[in-house]
Amino acid sequence: MGLIRKILIQDLKPGMRILDSGISWFSQPLLYSSPGLIEDAAQIKELEKAGFKAAYVDLSDFPDVAAKYPAPDEVLNAAKDSADTRRILQEADEEDSRAWIGLHDQAPEEKNSRQAEEPQTSLAMELPVARQIYKRSLSVIRDFIKAPNIKHIPSLVEDSKPFMASLLGSLTRNPAAILSLTRLCQADEYTWSHCVNVAILAMLYCNKQRYPKELATTMGLAGLFHDIGKTQIPGRILNYPGKLSPQAFQIMTHHPGIGYKIIRGVPDIPKEVVDGVYQHHERMHGTGYPNRLSGDEISETGKLLAVIDVYDALSSRRPYKEPLPQHKCLSIIYSMREKELSPYYVDRFIRCLNIYPLASAVELSNGLRGVVVKINDATPLLPVVVVTQDRHKRNMPPRVVDLSAHPSLHIDRGVGADELGVEPAELLRRFCQET
């Protein structure tokens, strides 16, 4: 998500990207909302001639124009936001300092049961912090890959702990921020951004289940190191841009066993991390590898990481494939329940992603209610919603709201379709016909 502002048409410049405002043209007919790139000055003149007065654009690359348009939230809540932002950045700085100067062992004691009572922050506030934490987490594992020396594994594990704590902090404050970053990895960095993503998703799962923070951090480490055995797989196989030959696949299947041998030698390494490394390719009916374990022979960590590993692989970009849309990833892992993946973890993982499927009835954080009509792949927690009820539960003319263009809005909860006064499937059908 960039620096999104509503600006006057005369301030548009070639190269700016128009965003779908999500606002019905019935209510704002002078707002230009056709998404796409402004290619030249002639196009801007056309828009002016057509009578459009304003548009939503991403001003990330236009700081001079951005300076003219402070965000409404910044204006309205300047005092509060600046205090909150300072607090978040200060916390992140402190966590980072611990990482760099080795003070993380002195982190304060944590509560056993947690999460719900901690303050939440807006996506706009959390995103820059999350981006910084994500980048640094990736750099820890990338630096190791440049010079993979098994002797350094214990210090790598130790160095990674504070980053797991930082990621968990961001997830707790606002999961949408760091989750949106897990979808942005570069194809050529897949192997290692995949490790950071699996760590994040494992901690998201633990957070949603209200597991103790210590266990969540351990599961984050299990996710981060689950593919550490791949450091010993030849690059030509690891980075092969397509389906592996049977011989190459056979070599690839050695990575959990190699990882196990590497990780079990780390002093005080938690059992969950060892299990996750060794068993994340085992399958429920014994068709996985390396030991063809089945059912309860597979540890809980192995079962959970298997679900997350498959999900992240499906939803990531690779040199030979585009990421699959969110709903397809979810339907594929759902189809793998029982035979391959643990139904227990598949069901809970899908639920904890907080995905509101198409046609689900939802209530927004401002009290308006409506129906999800489009999933934004980059921000699955911020779909497009057709609002049909005001905050007093009175019916109103349908209005399209793209939550990804409204950083201060999010879905608060799902509601019963019968509470809405409209048939969600019919509303979705009409939306699809008209767009």
- Minimum CB–partner distance for residue 53 and Fe ion (Å): 53
Distance CA 94, CA 104 (A): 10
Pairing relationship of beta strands 369-374 and 384-389 according to DSSP bridges: antiparallel
Of the two residues 227 and 340, which places its CB atom closer to Fe ion in the complex? 227
Of the two residues 289 and 349, which places its CB atom closer to Fe ion in the complex? 289
Of the two residues 349 and 356, which places its CB atom closer to Fe ion in the complex? 349
- Minimum CB–partner distance for residue 330 and Fe ion (Å): 21
Structure token digits, residue 16: 């700016």
- Minimum CB–partner distance for residue 141 and Fe ion (Å): 14
CB 204 within 8 A of CB 230: no
- Minimum CB–partner distance for residue 116 and Fe ion (Å): 33
- Minimum CB–partner distance for residue 304 and Fe ion (Å): 14
Of the two residues 121 and 160, which places its CB atom closer to Fe ion in the complex? 160
* Interface residue list for Fe ion (CB under 5 A): 227
With CB atoms as reference, the residue minimizing the distance to Fe ion is 227
Of the two residues 213 and 283, which places its CB atom closer to Fe ion in the complex? 283
Of the two residues 256 and 380, which places its CB atom closer to Fe ion in the complex? 256
- Minimum CB–partner distance for residue 179 and Fe ion (Å): 21
- Minimum CB–partner distance for residue 136 and Fe ion (Å): 23
Cα 25-28-33 angle, rounded to 5 deg? 55
Of the two residues 121 and 299, which places its CB atom closer to Fe ion in the complex? 299
- Minimum CB–partner distance for residue 269 and Fe ion (Å): 18
- Minimum CB–partner distance for residue 421 and Fe ion (Å): 48
Of the two residues 11 and 282, which places its CB atom closer to Fe ion in the complex? 282
> Which phi and psi angles does 303 have, rounded to 5°?
-65, -45
Structure token digits, residue 333: 């892992």
For residue 435, CA distances in Å to 144, 358, 374 come to: 48, 15, 11
Structure token digits, residue 221: 């480490």
Of the two residues 159 and 227, which places its CB atom closer to Fe ion in the complex? 227
